[in-house]
Structures are given as structure tokens and as C-alpha cells.
Amino acid sequence: MATRVSDMTSQSTGIPGRTSRGHIPGEEGIWVFIGGDLLAFAVFFITYAVARRQELAVFETSQRLLDRDLGLLNTLILLTSSLCVAQAVAAVRRSDPRARLFLFGGIALGASFVVVKAFEYSAKIAHGFTLNTNSFSIYYYMFTGIHLVHVLIGLGVLCFTASRFDRAGRMPGGVALIEGSGAFWHLIDLLWIVLFALLYLL
């Protein structure tokens, strides 16, 4: 029976299929998508910075209306969710049934990010800070909205991955699947780190 290269575990690192040329986590196609997303968001970040220079007073005043504490909370939620998913990947590699628990923890935290964001949106809208308020609000809702769509897709991917566990809580042959879905989830975390800095802190 043929064995997937990515399902072979290096004794020295715990990283499956690691060779001297390196190991690509998950399927290669996911990295094409991740690369495209990184380029798109780089354009978003730079576009925002240029717009901020042009309307500095409007942006600075509007940024003070954002709830920095909720931004911080969501950052800590996503970081911890990423930790859970990374633990789940490591657990699947060693056939540890706790992998399922870690993955469900990551999913629950991801869902709580959505709840906090929904609360934040509703509070802002209730105070009259809507998409049409000014230039900053357009960027705020557009970028955080696109990111939120990523979160929802990521949650769907993680739920699909969680459905692949067997009754014993193991995922035979599923290392590439959880690596790929984990990489996408970490991308979401990574993009939020920059959005949090640009929108809430700077």
C-alpha cells in the first residue's frame, strides 16, 4: 500500500515528510491561495495608508471611536485559537485523540471572534458609525468585513476537518488535511494582527 509522503513522520522533528528540501504543510494548492491573499491584503494595507495620509484628521478622529478593548480581545481570541489549531496539528501527527479537543477549542474560539465582531458592529451602527459615515468607516467596514468572511470560511474548513476524525478521535491519513486547514486559519490570524495595528492602534 502506498504511503503518502506527508503522512510519514520524521523522528527528529515531528514534522511529516520533512526532507532536506523542506516540507510544505498541507496541499501545495493552499499555498497558492495563501500567497494570493497575502498580495491582495498588502494592496489593501498600502491603499489604507495612502488614504490615511490624504485625510489624516478624519481618520484619526474616527479611529478614536473604535473600541480598542474589543479589538484587543479579538486579537487574543484569534491568537489562542491559532494555538489550539497548531496543537491539534501536532496531536494528529502523533495520533493523539486529544487532537479533536484542540480543534474544537480552536473552532469555539473562532466562533467567539465572530460574536465579538457582531457585537462591535452593532454598537458602532447604533451610534451612527455606519459604512457611509466617512472615508475611514468605508475602509473599516470593508477590510474587517472581508476578514470576517475569511473567518467564516475558515470556520467551515475547520468544521469539515473536524468531521474527519474517527470514533477514536484520530484522523488516519488526514495530516495533509489538518495542516492545510490549519495554515489557512493561521493566515486569518496573521491578517488580523496587521488590521488590528492599522485600524485600532496607529
Partner 1 sequence: MSVILRTRITLVWALLVGATLFSFETQTLGGAAVARTVILVIAFAKVLMVGREFMELRHAPPLLLWLFQGWAALTCLALLILFNL
**Site for partner 1, rule CB under 8 A:** 11-15, 18, 21-25, 31, 35, 38-39, 42, 45-46, 49-50, 52-53, 68, 72, 75-76, 79-80, 82-83, 85-87, 90, 93-94, 179, 182-183, 186-187, 189-190, 193-194, 196-198, 201-202
How far apart are CB 128 and partner 1 at their closest, in Å? Answer: 26
Helix (H, G, I), strand (E, B) or coil at 170: coil
Do the Cβ atoms of 105 and 185 come closer than 8 Å?
no
How far apart are CB 198 and partner 1 at their closest, in Å? Answer: 8
How far apart are CB 63 and partner 1 at their closest, in Å? Answer: 11
> 77 or 162, CB closer to partner 1?
77
How far apart are CB 133 and partner 1 at their closest, in Å? Answer: 23
> 45 or 130, CB closer to partner 1?
45
Contacts of 58 (CB under 8 A, 6+ apart): 134, 135, 136
State CA 146 to chain mean position distance.
12
| DSSP label of 66 | S
> 154 or 182, CB closer to partner 1?
182
Beta pairing partners, 16: 9
How far apart are CB 139 and partner 1 at their closest, in Å? Answer: 14
Q: Which stretch of DSSP H or E encloses residue 193?
A: helix 175-195
> 108 or 125, CB closer to partner 1?
108
> 46 or 153, CB closer to partner 1?
46
Residue 110 to residue 81: CA distance in whole angstroms: 6
Q: What Rg, from alpha-carbon coordinates, does the chain have?
A: 19
Count helices and strands in the chain by DSSP H and E runs: 6, 0
